[in-house]
Structure formats: C-alpha cells, structure tokens
Structure 1
C-alpha cells in the first residue's frame, strides 16, 4: 500500500506540469485565433466606422491656374519686369521655353507663386501690357477631396497598425505570409493616398501661371515675292495713273486746244515771214 502511494506521489508532479503546459498552450492558441479574427475584420470595421463630425472650420483648398499671352516691343525689358515680380512675391520658375518662328520670337515662362499672392502677381505682370491676346484664369475647389483623402489615410494607417499587431501574434508560417501580404497591400495604398495628398497640398499652396510674350519679327521678302510684288505695284500704279487722267480730262482738253491754236498761229507767222523775205 505504501508503495502505491509512493508511486502516485512520484507521478503527480510530472502530470501536474504537463497539464499546466497544455492548459497554457490552449489558452495562447485561443488568444491568437481571437486576434486573427479581430484583425481580419479590421478593414471592414474601419471602413464602416462613421467619421466624427467636424466642429473646426475647414481651410478651403483652392487650385488656381492661369494662362496669359501678349505682344511686347522689347523682350528683354519684359523679361526684366517678370523677373522683378517673381523676386518680389518669392515665386519660382517651373519651366521656361523660347521659340524663334519666322514671324515672331516668343518666350513662355511657367511660374509657381503662393496662392494668396496670385492675383497681386498677375497685376504686376500686367503693368505696361496694352492688350492681352489670351487671359484665362481657372479656380478649382478641392477642399472636399482633400478632407476625404485625409480620412482615408487615417483609416489605412489604423488598419496597418492592426496588421502589425497581428503579425506579432502569428505563430504559423502560412499566417505570417498572409498577414505580410495584406500588410504590403495596405502599405502600397497608404503611399498612393499620401502621394495624392501631397499633390493637392502643393497645388493649393502654390498657384501656376503660364506667361507667353512675343515680339513680331521684321518680314524678309524673297526674290520671287519681290518680283510678284513689283508686278502688283506696277499694275496698281497704272490703274491709279489712268484714274488720275480721267479725273483731269477737262484740263487735258484745254491744253490740247491751246496747243492746236498756238501751233496754227506759229505756222501763220512763219509763212508771213517767208513772204516778207521774198518781197524784199
């Protein structure tokens, strides 16, 4: 009897340790499954959660873009004035091109200027311009899109954090690979949303103005054009000469009559002189 009791006492401690280990493993597995189930529905919950009502007035996000073009008599002077306006309003040149056509020499400058100083900048550039051949200003309100993207970005980042938490709890290789796949997709979406947000922020902070100014080049006429123009001018001169003769025909008639009588008188005088000479 004592031997049986001793055997039971010897087996009790190992059995207790094994039972405790199994109980801990089972509890840990239940926690992991619960975490997996919670994070698996994280995206759906995050997307379905209603956004809190904004109580703070939103800053309006406006994208301003403009295009102007005009003729100038001095390209260098115009470039100098535009440069002074750029320096005054702390703007910068995004691009600059120059085109030398047969009829004109033109320059195009794309300027980025602070949105709050956009109108004042145009006013300075327009000084000395008598006539704009093109003037087009457009304003686009992207406030709603900006706020929506901010909310989406917040949701995506919360989802990313939940996936990272789940990744720490995962034990199986298949679970780790699946979570890492979902995490990479969420990270790519976050980068895309952040890129769009940065673009809207930049476009609404700095407005864009395209300035084109040109100077008409002196026309160079080729020989063929000169010959054709000479024929045309000669014909026009002949027409105008004929028209002039028609306008002064009464005076021409008087001149012809006067010449006729003068010639007749001159002949009679010559004849009389000859007769007098023969008589003498």
Structure 2
C-alpha cells in the first residue's frame, strides 16, 4: 500500500511538471507577435495556388539591338529613321550628335513596340549596303516575371490578412505592432511593383540604338582644311591688331624714346 502511494505521488508530480512545461512553451510561442499568426494562417498548404506550367505561359522577352553604318548623307538617313519612328509608334529616348574633324556621327536610341521591332529595323536601315556593326540580343525574363508577380500576390494577400487582424486587435501594443508590419509590407510591395513595371516596360518596348557615320572624302577634307586655314589666318590677323590697340601707349613711348636718342646722338656729333 505504501509502495503504491509513493508511485502514485511520483506519477502525479511528473504530470504536473509536464503540464507546466507545455504551458511555458505556449507562452513563449504567444510572444512571437502577430506577424507569425498572420503568416501561419496565410501559409496554409490547403490554400496554396497551383502554378501553371511555364511552357503554357506567354513568353516575356526583352529585345535590345545596336547597329552602326556609314552613310553618304547623314541628314537623309536620319530623316528615314524619324519617319519610321512615327510610322511604328516608337519614340526617341536619346539623340546625340558628334562633329569630328574627319567624320560626323549621330547616335539615336529608339524605344519601339516589341511587335514592331523587326519592321522598324528593316525600314530604318533600308538601303544600307554594309553594317560596321550589328548586334541583336533577346533575353527571356519569363521566370523572373512570374516570380515577381507571385511575390507581389503573396505580399498583397498577407497585407489583407494584417488588415483583418488590425480590426480584431484588443490592445494598443498589438495595433502598433500590426501597423508596423503593414508599413513594412507596403514598402516591400512598392519595391516589387517597381520591378514588375520595369520588366513590363522593357518587354513591351524594345530598344534599338542606331549610329550613323558620315566620313569626309579627301577632296572635301582638303577644302575643309583650306577653309579652316584661311579663317584661322584672318582671325590671327585681327587678333594682331587687337593686341596693338591694347599696347599702343607703350609703343608711342618707345617711339618717342628712340627718336630722342637718335636726335641727341646727332646733336652730340655736330658739337
């Protein structure tokens, strides 16, 4: 009887300690904050969306190209490009002109609706016999696009869950914690939306950079050098008289001094 009582006491004590330990674990888990609660309820495997096979999804392609070619008339080639810009609803994002001693360069960067890229390239470079360089790159960003979309959907649904928890919050501390989590989520959502918009823009509008080069012929180069030499000579001639105009008082003093020295020398010889 005494042995049974001792065993009963030990079992009873062990049961109490076990319950106490479980209670402590529960309290620790409850102190993790409302963020774990929201994420745990959101990440229920039963509510996970099924992903569509990537080969059944429209590809997201970014097309970029660079071409450069020589032309005998840079203005005519430029006008042809501008005409193609209007025809295919493109727009110019950059336009630079360089005037070197032996050549003229015009570099134009055009954003073109992706479906019109090939047509635009063909028409803008029509008549070009030889390209100095031509490079067309196509980058598949389908997986990144889908990943960003999924992340955005996840963040927005989690934000909705936080807003629901905010309505049910019983204490000021819980409300402040939930609002802090919502603020952080919205910042992440804006960042993801920015990346998604960037990808969508690069996919919707292809980029083509065209460099037009007009080199001077030897006859034109000689005439240009002759003209430049004549202009430089005339400018130096004018500059010489400008300098004389600035120092004429000193010249006048020097002339008077030289004349005085000569006059004094002649007078001394006569005496």
TM-score by length of 1: 0.62
**1:41 is matched with which residue?**
37
Work out whether residues 63 and 140 of structure 1, in 8 Å CA contact, stay in contact via their aligned partners in 2: yes
Equivalent-residue separation in structure 1 for 2:72 and 2:165 (angstroms):
70
Find the aligned partners of 2:41 and 2:163 in 1 and give their Cα distance: 17
1:52 to 39, 50, 53: 50
Task: Give me the whole-angstrom Cα distance separating, in 2, the residues matched to 1:222 and 1:119.
Answer: 42
Superimposed CA distance per residue, residues 3-48 of structure 1 (whole angstroms, 9 cap, x where no aligned partner): xxxxxxxxxxxxxxxxxxxxxxxxxxxxxxx9x9776333356467
Once the two structures are TM-superposed, the CA of residue 165 in structure 1 deviates from its matched residue by 1.3
Length, aligned pairs only: 191
Per the TM alignment, residue 53 of structure 1 is displaced from its structure 2 partner at its CA by 3.1
Residues 92, 112 of structure 1: 8 Å contact kept: yes
CA contact (8 A) 1:39 1:166 kept: no
Tell me which residue corresponds to 2:121: 122
Give the counterpart of 2:221 among 219, 222, 244.
Answer: 219
Give the match's secondary structure for 2:86: helix
From the CA coordinates, give the structure whose radius of gyration is larger: 1
CA distances 1:190-235 after superposition (whole Å, capped 9, x unpaired): 0111111111111111100001102113435979xx9xxxxxxxxx
**Deviates most, 73-82 or 169-178:** 169-178
- Where do 1:106-255 residues align within 5 Å? 106-217=105-216, 218-219=220-221
Question: Which ranges in structure 2 are unaligned for 5 or more consecutive residues?
Answer: 1-29, 230-271
Structure 2 distance, partners of 1:208, 1:158, is 35
TM-score of the superposition, structure 2-length normalised? 0.64
Residues of 2 paired with 1:61 and 1:127: CA distance? 28
